[in-house]
A and B are shown apart, each in its own frame.
Chain A
């Protein structure tokens, strides 16, 4: 196994452990004191959070570029089944179709969830006397746990930088 692949597995494994730890913290330890402020984030905190988000995005791209530049060619690609026999071709095509269906279902689920969340945000913002918009929850969380919000924004933007701003080989 190449060192770049080991590094990528290490980065992803440690990210997963951190994420699982944060999920456990959110379930068992997250405390928000009442009343919680939903005022806009401003001043140094706002500057720091936006800078951390942009920095994480660029850092993720640079990390992906370094890992990809030193990575060995992939053994397997879902699009090209190995072997030349009819059975192999048939199994490969079926597996490829299944993989495409799974990816398509995941994409539809993700987009449906995004639409639902954005619709709730729009409805709640139209009348904030009825429900808290998601923005207020994020601001409240940030006022109560600014460091945790910064770590979360950094982690998410770094991963997005790796995935969305992927280097060309």
Chain B
């Protein structure tokens, strides 16, 4: 199997996009907590109870990604 050489920018972008998304969500949750508002988990929970299928779909995609990244089998 021949693949193009690694592009180092791809590694940087993959790491940065993931980290910035999570850091932004943590910062938002911290702001909500400091101002004594309903935390992000409470809001997501309320939203998930309103749209359970939507949330189940998102959880399915995320679980598939984790399995795809870390738990895949070699192609014969």
Contacts and interface: CB of A to CB of B under 8 A. Distances in A.
- Check if A and B associate: yes
Interface of A: 5, 8-9, 12-13, 15-16, 19-20, 22-23, 26-27, 30, 32, 34-36, 38-42, 46, 49-50, 53, 64, 74-78, 103, 110, 113-114, 117-118, 128-132, 134-142, 152-153, 155-157, 159-160, 162-164, 166, 168
Given A19-B22, A166-B42, A49 B4 contact: no
Contact of B33 (A9, A40, A118, A155): A9
Contacts of A46: 70-71
Contact of B39 (A8, A30, A137): A8
Given A128-B1, A130-B4, 12 more contacts: A12-B33, A23-B16, A35-B6, A40-B73, A50-B66, A110-B21, A135-B69, A137-B11, A141-B14, A141-B15, A163-B40, A163-B44
Contacts of B4: 129-132
A75 B14 contact: no
A160 B34 contact: no
Please classify how large the interface on chain B is, using the bins under 10, 10 to 19, 20 to 34, 35 or more.
35 or more
Nearest to B74: A40
A129 B4 CA distance: 6
Interface of B: 1-8, 10-12, 14-23, 25-27, 29-30, 33-45, 48, 55, 59, 61-62, 66-74
Contact of A5 (B33, B42, B74): B33
Contacts of A40: 72-74
**What are the 10 A-B residue pairs with the smallest beta carbon separation, nearest first?**
A166-B45, A19-B23, A166-B41, A26-B15, A12-B30, A49-B70, A137-B14, A163-B41, A75-B36, A138-B69
